[in-house]
């Protein structure tokens, strides 16, 4: 509140000035401004210092203060959850809940439903409810199918069914190939002032070091992950080998009685890996493996990684005869 008072007394640009001088975040100072307005020190003072003029807000007794909005408004969380419920957005996993609606629009909709709520409060509530801002996902192929929501509900039921019986459910994905060498990597890392990590000016591939292709297997139930770091082509054979290595290294021990395996596609594990190596040049394959192995999921669970030095031939085709020889039981719901 003291910082907010200083910011208000400076007028336009005061929040940024005080934030730079004190090291406080702008969010904290804005919260202080809201407290000042609530205590009666509003904008009508036109920059005069409330404290300098001898005016003070009410002194709170221990345990006093405003009640939480959710304590006073029983249906607030329910209505907010309805607006961003995962099946309405086509997301099969509740662990991957997210919303494409801005907090401002959500606050407006909640107000139309009779709730007195601000954009900042909506943002805080979404965080408490397990939602997060995430980037777009490649889900649609052409026009939207009439059974699209039904498809994701079907996947969600299948996930819940296998988890209930103790069978593994994993999500697989591959990260873009990464250049190995002293190349610029996105993001920033703490370094002594004025001593940035030197990297090459141009991102021309190092023919000796090449690229790596990380392929991830994420265990939705255990919240753990496995990443095979391939050095050759990112082929179907490489994907299968990555699944096999996950089972041998992690899956078999976690699910010794398993009789089924459900594989879904696309997950969030790579965001933790990218965050762990931001601002660092990936100077060797070993550096990549170590950085992945030292990354953790948002709940602090482990991610294991290993280098896969096998060569995988590109352009291998599977014949119609080989496809016909597979034992495939198609589901009644969109088995195609």
| pLDDT value, residue 297 | 66
Confidence of residue 26 (pLDDT cuts 50, 70, 90): confident
| pLDDT tens readout for residues 155-201 | 889 999 999 999 999 999 998 898 898 888 776 666 566 667 787 87
Compute the distance between CA of residue 119 and CA of residue 73 in angstroms, rounded to an integer: 16
Report, as an integer, the average pLDDT of 314-319. 91
Q: Kindly report the pTM of this predicted structure.
A: 0.55
Report, as an integer, the average pLDDT of 108-129. 85
Question: In this structure, what is the dihedral angle of CA atoms 218, 222, 224, 225, given to the nearest 10 degrees?
Answer: -30
| pLDDT value, residue 31 | 83
| pLDDT value, residue 10 | 83
Q: Report domain extents, the chain.
A: 2-45, 69-128, 167-189+201-315
Using a 10 angstrom Cβ sphere, with 0-12 exposed, 13-18 middle and 19 or more buried, the burial of residue 311 is: exposed
pLDDT(115) > 70? yes
| pLDDT value, residue 55 | 44
Question: In this structure, what is the dihedral angle of CA atoms 131, 132, 133, 136, given to the nearest 10 degrees?
Answer: -70
Burial 158-175 (b: 16+ CB within 10 A, else e): bbeebeeeebbbbbbbbb
Spatial contact of 204 and 213, defined as CB atoms under 8 Å apart: no
Spatial contact of 180 and 285, defined as CB atoms under 8 Å apart: yes
Cβ neighbours of residue 126 under 8 Å, at least 6 residues apart?
80, 84, 99, 103, 106, 132
| pLDDT value, residue 302 | 83
Residue with tokens 């009789």: 259
Helices (H), the chain: 2-10, 14-22, 26-38, 69-72, 76-83, 86-89, 103-112, 119-128, 148-164, 236-246, 252-254, 269-276, 285-293, 320-324
| pLDDT tens readout for residues 221-263 | 998 999 999 999 999 999 999 999 999 999 999 999 999 999 9
E-only strand ranges, 110-219: 169-174, 178-179, 211-219
Share of the chain above pLDDT 90, in %: 28
Confidence of residue 19 (pLDDT cuts 50, 70, 90): confident
Q: In this predicted model, which residue has the larger pLDDT, 70 or 292?
A: 292
In sequence order, the β-bridge partners of residue 215 are 174, 228
| pLDDT value, residue 108 | 86
The closest alpha carbon to 100, from 70, 132, 130, 127, belongs to: 132
Confidence of residue 40 (pLDDT cuts 50, 70, 90): low
Compute the distance between CA of residue 315 and CA of residue 165 in angstroms, rounded to an integer: 39
DSSP helix/strand/coil, 99: coil
| pLDDT value, residue 6 | 86
Cβ neighbours of residue 67 under 8 Å, at least 6 residues apart?
none
| pLDDT value, residue 61 | 57
Burial 118-138 (b: 16+ CB within 10 A, else e): eeebbbebbeeeebeeeeeee
| pLDDT value, residue 84 | 73
pLDDT(325) > 80? yes
């Amino acid at each position: 509140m003291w910082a907010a008072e200083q910011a208000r007394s400076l007028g336009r640009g005061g929040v940024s000035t005080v934030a730079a001088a004190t090291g406080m975040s702008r969010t904290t100072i804005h919260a202080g401004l809201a407290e000042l307005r609530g205590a009666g020190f509003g904008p009508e003072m036109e920059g005069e210092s409330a404290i300098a003029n001898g005016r003070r807000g009410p002194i709170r007794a221990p345990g006093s203060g405003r009640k939480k909005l959710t304590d006073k408004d029983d249906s607030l969380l329910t209505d907010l959850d309805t607006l961003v419920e995962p099946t309405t957005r086509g997301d099969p996993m509740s662990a991957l809940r997210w919303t494409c609606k801005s907090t401002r629009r959500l606050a407006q909709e909640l107000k139309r439903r009779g709730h007195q709520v601000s954009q900042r409060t909506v943002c805080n509530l979404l965080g408490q409810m397990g939602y997060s801002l995430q980037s777009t996902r490649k889900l649609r192929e052409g026009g939207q199918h009439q059974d699209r929501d039904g498809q994701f509900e079907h996947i969600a039921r299948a996930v819940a069914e296998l988890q209930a019986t103790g069978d593994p459910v994993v999500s697989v994905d591959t990260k873009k190939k990464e250049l190995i060498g002293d190349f610029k990597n996105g993001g920033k890392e703490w370094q002594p002032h004025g001593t940035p990590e030197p990297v090459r000016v141009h991102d021309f591939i190092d023919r000796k070091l090449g690229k790596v292709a990380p392929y991830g297997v994420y265990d939705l139930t255990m919240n753990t992950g496995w990443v095979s770091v391939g050095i050759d082509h990112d082929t179907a054979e490489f994907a299968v080998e990555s699944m096999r290595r996950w089972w041998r290294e992690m899956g078999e021990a976690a699910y010794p009685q398993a009789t089924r395996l459900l594989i879904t596609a696309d997950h969030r594990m790579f965001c933790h890996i990218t965050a762990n190596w931001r601002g660092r040049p990936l100077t060797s394959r070993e550096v990549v493996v170590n950085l992945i192995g030292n990354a953790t999921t948002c709940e602090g669970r482990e991610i294991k990684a290993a280098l896969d030095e096998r060569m995988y031939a590109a352009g291998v085709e599977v014949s119609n005869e080989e496809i016909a020889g597979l034992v495939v039981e198609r589901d009644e719901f969109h088995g195609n």
